[in-house]
Structure 1
């Protein structure tokens, strides 16, 4: 986001369905607050930003604004670096792969919803076709003239003699 907070962007408005009333991607925190929330020095956040590990939103003046998601990512980067001994290139790759997994999960959800809709449409189409066939058969039966017996005459037939 390039404007100041409460600029009218829907991400800045309180949302009751999210904890604390704000979306996880709303850029809320200045760098000093973000550093305190993440448990690290502000210079570390600047370094992570320069390296592209965590890229916060910006105000029109260029100031960094961190979201709740950015804070969680900062904590994850710190954990990978300090606790797991992963170097920054490895951290960058992990972040990229997690983003790909998230995108694939979202796409899977979309495709699953589409498949379910198509399945429902197919069931409905089959029912419509069965109803149309039943109606067509019922219509044919109404058009057929009922057969009645012609009479009770008896015809006698004899085989001709053999020669």
Structure 2
């Protein structure tokens, strides 16, 4: 029988062990769970189980608290950090998709700034934009 894969999100620590690893009192972990700062998974018996990710997040909460942030400020910082991480992942996905699309299209298009007002124009590969010979004099 194969053992299940474990990673940093696998809930393995009971509240006492997680509190010791985070160097906090178990009651503090319960409070953070109630207000949503760190939400451990629950067993069938409804006991909290913390992952390594949860412990790292608890340490981050302690660090921010030590720097003088309120619990609401900490919640907002953690929320924004999660959002940034999600957006960075999405950017990587889109970059991969764009790279694949470029490689799969033999008749790739080229885009350039148009001569009239900076609009974007599509060109066939190898074509050039007509350049304007207008002279513009600027006076302060």
* TM-score calculated relative to the size of structure 2: 0.73
Q: Which residue of 1 aligns with 2:107?
A: 126
Residues 71-90 of structure 1 aligned to structure 2 (within 5 Å): 71-82=55-66, 84-90=67-73
Spell out, residue by residue over 1:40-84, the C-alpha distance to the aligned partner (whole angstroms, 9 max, x if none): 1000000000010000000011000000000000000000002x1
The alpha-carbon deviation at position 39 of structure 1 amounts to 0.5
Determine which of 60, 67, 74 is the counterpart of 1:91: 74
Residues 28-107 of structure 1 aligned to structure 2 (within 5 Å): 28-82=12-66, 84-107=67-90
- The 2-side partners of 1:58 and 1:112 are apart by 37
Higher strand share: 2
Q: Which residue of 2 aligns with 1:116?
A: 99
Determine which of 4, 8, 11 is the counterpart of 1:13: 4
CA RMSD in angstroms comes to 1.7
Spell out, residue by residue over 1:104-163, the C-alpha distance to the aligned partner (whole angstroms, 9 max, x if none): 0110010000000011112xx239xxxxxxxxxxxxxxxxxxxxxxxxxxxxxxxxxxxx
Spell out, residue by residue over 1:15-36, the C-alpha distance to the aligned partner (whole angstroms, 9 max, x if none): xxxxxxx301000100000000
Higher helix share: 1
- The 2-side partners of 1:91 and 1:70 are apart by 15
- The 2-side partners of 1:115 and 1:31 are apart by 45
* TM-score calculated relative to the size of structure 1: 0.63
Consecutive unaligned residues of structure 2, counting only runs of 5 or more, are 109-140
Structure number with bigger Rg: 1
Q: Which runs of 4+ in 1 moved over 2 A?
A: none
In the alignment of these two chains, the number of paired residues is 107
